[in-house]
Structure 1
Amino acid sequence: MKPIPPASLWLVGCGNMAGAMLRRWIETGTIDPAQVFVVNREDRELPAGVRQGREFPEGPLPDAVMLGMKPQQIDLIAETHGARIAGVKLLISILAGVELASLADRFTAGAIVRVMPNLPVAIGKGVVGMAGEHNHPADTLMQPLGLVEWMADERGLDLLGVLAGCGPAFTYRFIDALAAAGTGLGLPEDQALRLAIATVGGAGLLAAEADAPPSTLADRVASPGGSTRKGLDVLDADGAIRKLMQATLEASERRSAEMAAEARR
């Protein structure tokens, strides 16, 4: 029998990431909005048909509950809603840095799965890391969001979160810097930004479909002694771009570890 996603879903919190996931599920017909309930501190603009409130409704539990609030709110949520959702078949957490053991200490569920998505899930081009005991309904639920990777352990999930979860923000900074550099050379600001966005978007799509790694693609673009090669010489000098990205990811990893430690207390 083909695995099917949860038919009903409750969410705790529905900010940028959880909201992007929810909208994608509804757009693709993965979930019926009438079967979704969101608990928020205040009402948000949600897809048509999705109910929301301060407390979960009376009646039986849904097939799944997803924790989508800020990680720092975990104790408050456990105290406020833990008893109501106790015994749910599937608990999904997208809380960065909050480990399975910390979740199990606070919530009772048939299965607990950690999920680490990134923002392009909004258009089905995201990366979704998963950890915990392999769960077919959770896996099926995530498939419309993009590339789904089950990690061997939570360490791998945290590293995926640093690379893929934080990565879009770093990519946006690069796009902004590329556009600013174009403006510095004399292009109009709005035109430089359009060109930078299209360049990075197209290059990413080509890299995804290419028969060679990005390093080879870069060499294919750069003719010996040409203008691209001269620019690459700046990025490659003393490993400049690699060192910058290593330091960037390490800073994010340190903060992820700090948040995990805070959740264990």
Structure 2
Amino acid sequence: MSEGALWLVGAGNMGGAMLRGWLAAPGLQRPITVIDPFIEQVPQGVTLLRELPSGDEQPDILVLAVKPQQLDAVRGVFEQKTGAPRLLLSILAGVETETLRQAFSVEHSVRAMPNLPVSIGEGVTALYSGTADNGVRAEAAGLVAPLGLIEWIDNEALFDAVTALSGCGPGFLFRFIDAMASAGEALGLPADQAMRLAVATVKGSGLLAAQSTEGPEVLADRVASPGGSTREGLNVLDAEDRLKHLMRETLAAAARRNAELAAAARAS
């Protein structure tokens, strides 16, 4: 694997989370340059630039972590350069690999969708490339391996669904935790205690689901004794599949927005 320079363009919520995951991983020798006009500072050993370097300087690997709407500005700088990065890894929601390949004249573009827990090495990163050979795929996977679970997607058309489920999913779960804590507070618990209980309950349940050989539906039934309090609560969630319908509507809305972003990127 090459150890050439890596440029991270954009170090906001997700780009910054990826950077923290890389720096926490042992054995990463690749020099990292962050290009971001807004962040105050970067960790020691990382170079910070406020704008993309002019001239023909190119990174070995270019990681795009800006908003999809900023693609044109980044592309405009690279159009003035001779040559191209060897590998492009992009987390731009809705921007397809062929759009990226043409925009940056790269031979291989890999589309990635990490989620926020990559900052603690417990994230999920979905990957797709229509051109990368086994060597490039292995390199891209190695780059995100310190961040958590890796899932290669065979059909790019499914990336909107992946983004809605695992990319947006932490936001939905955080909202669920907040709702659980608020419900506990409504029952009389102090607000701070209700929040601690909700966070710890979701954390432990997630770890148990990850380690269990049984699916979450079975695990839920194991918690719920017939006629007990858990079963009574599940009856509310299960009535007319209201929770499943709500989640389907939630993910469908996120997936539609991803499709809209893809259409806008193709048209630009």
TM-score interval, normalised by the smaller of the two chains: over 0.9
2:118 is matched with: 121
Q: Match for residue 41 of structure 1?
A: 37
SS, match of residue 10 in structure 1? strand
TM-score by length of 1: 0.93
Q: 1:43 to 1:220 in 2, by over 3 A?
A: closer
Cα offset, 1:56, TM superposition: 2.6
Q: Tell me the SS of whatever aligns to 1:127.
A: strand
**Alpha-carbon contact 2:54-2:77 (below 8 Å) kept:** no
Seen in structure 2, the aligned counterparts of structure 1 residues 85 and 122 have a Cα distance that, compared at 3 Å, is farther
Q: Which has the higher mean CA deviation after the structures are superposed, 83-92 or 67-76?
A: 83-92
Matched residue pairs, number? Answer: 261
Question: Could you say which residue in structure 2 is the equivalent of 1:226?
Answer: 228
Deviates more, 1:15-24 or 1:170-179: 15-24
1:10-48: CA deviation from partner (whole Å, max 9, x where unpaired): 111111101111111111135347x11122224532111
Q: Take 2:174 and 2:182, find their aligned partners in 1: how far apart are those partners?
A: 12
**Alpha carbons of 1:92 and 1:150: their partners in 2 closer, same or farther (altered >3 Å)?**
same
- In the TM superposition, what is the alpha-carbon distance from 1:188 to its structure 2 partner? 0.3
Deviation of residue 83 (structure 1)?
Answer: 3.3
Q: Is the 8 A contact 2:11 2:39 kept in 1?
A: no
Give runs of aligned pairs for residues 41-60 of structure 1, distance below 5 A: 41-53=37-49, 54-56=51-53
| Aligned CA distance change for structure 1 residues 57 and 263 (closer, same or farther; 3 Å) | closer
**TM-score normalised by length of structure 2:** 0.92
Q: Does residue 1:12 correspond to 2:9, yes or no?
A: yes
Which residue is 1:97 aligned to?
94
Instruction: Please list every run of 5 or more consecutive structure 2 residues that lacks an aligned counterpart in the other structure.
Output: none
Q: Which residue of 2 is the match for residue 256 of structure 1? A: 258
Unaligned stretches of 5+ residues in structure 1 = none
Please list the CA deviations of residues 56-84 of structure 1 after superposition, one character each: whole Å capped at 9, or x if unmatched: 37776332111111100111110123433
Deviation at 1:172, TM superposition (A): 0.4
**Percent of aligned positions that are identical:** 48
Deviation at 1:263, TM superposition (A): 0.3
Paired letter, 1:126: G
Partner of 1:173: 175
The alpha-carbon deviation at position 6 of structure 1 amounts to 4.6
Verify the 8 A CA contact 1:104 1:112 in the aligned structure 2.
yes
Counterpart amino acid of 1:64? I
